[in-house]
Structure 1
């Protein structure tokens, strides 16, 4: 994701997944303008007016969930907000990654800054302070059902505002009390509705969705590049990628992938070498790359579209529209993202599934010039045989993770919250699947590079030749068995660090190459 912006104004600018990551990673700073501060103050004053007048409004002067009919006195409204953070901090399991917790802070700051939540300026400023100083709360990964917001994880996220909980700071986990002593800070005293505004919302689900968008985008691009290299290694046909074919079934993702493969195979001596061969058509794992990778890309585009709406929405409850209108609704319900994340999870799994099939195809030895198990001297050597066992295990694990979490609902809150999204599980599973897909693609990278080597001294196009050189700087051609896990680790590193994508981008720039389609090889904005 590339951007020239240096400052993002919470509650005012349009937030995307890429911008959220840029703020989280410190390349863009999030701020609040005076115009936005006026809206926040006005909303906060409405809440104060409601408390003063005594008219029952959910979560401001009533209890929560099944206690929504319990009236809370004016003097107890502040205690109520502190209590809700403590009572709802019931998360379990390993803490989420620091970057995801920081993303949650960024997303919540943007939602609150829109001026419909009734929080105080000081509360928003403290959240932004945590972002700016990289003092990130420890948030357990389990406990949200994805309706009424991500109550448990958001409660843990904001315990530090009232002086409780733990913080990851300078690579160490410390208590909030220790952090406050370092900086001379005092816990905040939350006003009416503030606790509820903090813990209602979909920021746990949305933060995971941001990471899914980022990680899946890289996997999609890697899959296209590695798939093209495997086509070269196994001397597949370029015809299934002709635009004349895809113009007759113009799904956006399919056309994109086909254009990329054509571009990567352009000016290839390897392609020219077998243009008149007797083989009629390739197996599906080569021939149907546009249809399979393209369908996964369509799922990515769908999640991206829905996520962008969510990132710029107000998802807490009740919503303060104005002095005469507050609405207790269901904007905290995670179903819109939960279903899209389950779809993306399935789409990511399919990237790994077809990649495993291409690896198996490469080992069969049915492509002229490429030996069985990708090694000439087999028998005493097993070659690349067992690497496919690993991808089979990972692909199978992913299939088990594809059951949609959003298909389930268990009533909570004594039936007050009788349908929930389970979107938090959708997000966590999708990231788990993508982690496995990265490993599968890393192994395909190694096998594709090995098959590609047997085409020498013929050359591919400039892009794939440069990709192959980059791989060989990290992993040598295998002439006999060795500890392949070390190669796999280097492959995973190349995938995670986007080494291959960066190589293609730099080579395109160096050679002044442009694609024939409107799609560019580099990262699209997201």
Structure 2
């Protein structure tokens, strides 16, 4: 299906997801339960694929800067020439990171939507807030506010930097790319997205445990096991912050890379 509309990154994302699900119930014939899944699930390959494409473009921009010279003037010693130039201007880098931030904001939006769907009995057929005991327990309900706050902060950080700046140097420097600030805020987006991914993993692991009799794919089972090695199943209400922090650190340290390949 992805080949019918080969959007940038979509095919690679679809292949990665199918590889994680291989060997599980979801890829077996006749196991699908819903024809029209929520778009946060259904559009995961296209949204993640756009993120992959934006990341590749940002990487290419950085590699160009690292492998070339932005000196002004450029001194060509063998020709005894000094060439005044504007190669110090990284507009292409700033634009690549603005696009990456916007793409990651969309990745965050669908992640948060999936978190909410997993906690809703109407969507998941699981207990409300994934609380194992429906006696007024909060379950993972409070974590919804964490997800909402992270998405709001990411959306704010994804807003583009101003393109009109105050002229300095007696009017000579009347344009600035704001590339440093753009890269900085994109880094802040990544940090918050990592937290949000940890929330989704913790919530998804609980959802898996509350649905008996299912068989996960080889990759998704390995991820579930990795999360459970850090976070025990929720049996009674407890603060979620330590669990989220543990999974966030695990992601930051590259703990998922052997599974994701």
What TM-score results when the alignment is normalised by the length of structure 2? Answer: 0.93
* 1:453 is the counterpart of 2:222: no
Aligned position for 1:478: 234
* 1:311 is the counterpart of 2:77: no
Give CA-to-partner distance per residue, 1:160-218, whole Å, 9 cap, x none. xxxxxxxxxxxxxxxxxxxxxxxxxxxxxxxxxxxxxxxxxxxxxxxxxxxxxxxxxxx
> How is 1:1-400 mapped onto 2 (pairs within 5 angstroms)?
245-269=1-25, 271-272=27-28, 275=31, 277=33, 279-322=34-77, 323-367=79-123, 369-400=125-156
Note the aligned Cα RMSD (angstroms). 1.8
Aligned position for 1:498: 254
User: What is the CA distance between 1:274 and its match in structure 2?
Assistant: 6.0
In 1, Cα distance between the equivalents of 2:43 and 2:219?
22
Contact 1:270 1:458 in 2 (8 A): no
Contact 1:494 1:500 in 2 (8 A): yes
In 2, Cα distance between the equivalents of 1:454 and 1:282?
20
User: How many residue pairs were aligned?
Assistant: 260
Aligned residue among 416, 419, 425 for 2:172: 416
Give CA-to-partner distance per residue, 1:242-300, whole Å, 9 cap, x none. xxx111111231001111111111121355496253x2210000000011111111111
Q: Rate the CA distance shift 1:415–1:382 in 2: closer, same or farther, 3 A.
A: same
User: What is the CA distance between 1:406 and its match in structure 2?
Assistant: 5.6
Aligned position for 1:489: 245
In 2, Cα distance between the equivalents of 1:421 and 1:458?
52
User: What is the CA distance between 1:456 and its match in structure 2?
Assistant: 3.1
Contact 2:117 2:124 in 1 (8 A): no
In 1, Cα distance between the equivalents of 2:94 and 2:48?
22
Contact 2:132 2:234 in 1 (8 A): no
Contact 1:409 1:421 in 2 (8 A): no
SS at match of 1:413: coil
Give CA-to-partner distance per residue, 1:472-512, whole Å, 9 cap, x none. 1110110210111111111211211121222x1xxxxxxxx
Aligned position for 2:186: 430
User: What is the CA distance between 1:334 and its match in structure 2?
Assistant: 2.2
Contact 2:132 2:210 in 1 (8 A): no
In 1, Cα distance between the equivalents of 2:124 and 2:102?
34
Q: Rate the CA distance shift 1:297–1:286 in 2: closer, same or farther, 3 A.
A: same
User: What is the CA distance between 1:379 and its match in structure 2?
Assistant: 3.9
Point out where structure 2 has 5 or more consecutive residues left out of the alignment: none
In 2, Cα distance between the equivalents of 1:291 and 1:478?
32
In 2, Cα distance between the equivalents of 1:386 and 1:303?
35
Contact 1:362 1:447 in 2 (8 A): yes
Q: Rate the CA distance shift 1:379–1:390 in 2: closer, same or farther, 3 A.
A: same
What TM-score results when the alignment is normalised by the length of structure 1? Answer: 0.47
User: What is the CA distance between 1:324 and its match in structure 2?
Assistant: 3.8
In 2, Cα distance between the equivalents of 1:451 and 1:328?
61
In 2, Cα distance between the equivalents of 1:368 and 1:328?
63
Contact 1:318 1:327 in 2 (8 A): yes
User: What is the CA distance between 1:305 and its match in structure 2?
Assistant: 1.8
Give CA-to-partner distance per residue, 1:115-159, whole Å, 9 cap, x none. xxxxxxxxxxxxxxxxxxxxxxxxxxxxxxxxxxxxxxxxxxxxx
Relative contact order, higher structure (CA 8 A, sep 6+):
2
User: What is the CA distance between 1:407 and its match in structure 2?
Assistant: 2.7
Q: Rate the CA distance shift 1:355–1:371 in 2: closer, same or farther, 3 A.
A: same
Contact 2:164 2:175 in 1 (8 A): no
Contact 1:339 1:406 in 2 (8 A): no
Contact 2:14 2:45 in 1 (8 A): yes
Contact 1:408 1:422 in 2 (8 A): no
In 2, Cα distance between the equivalents of 1:377 and 1:249?
45
Contact 1:270 1:455 in 2 (8 A): no
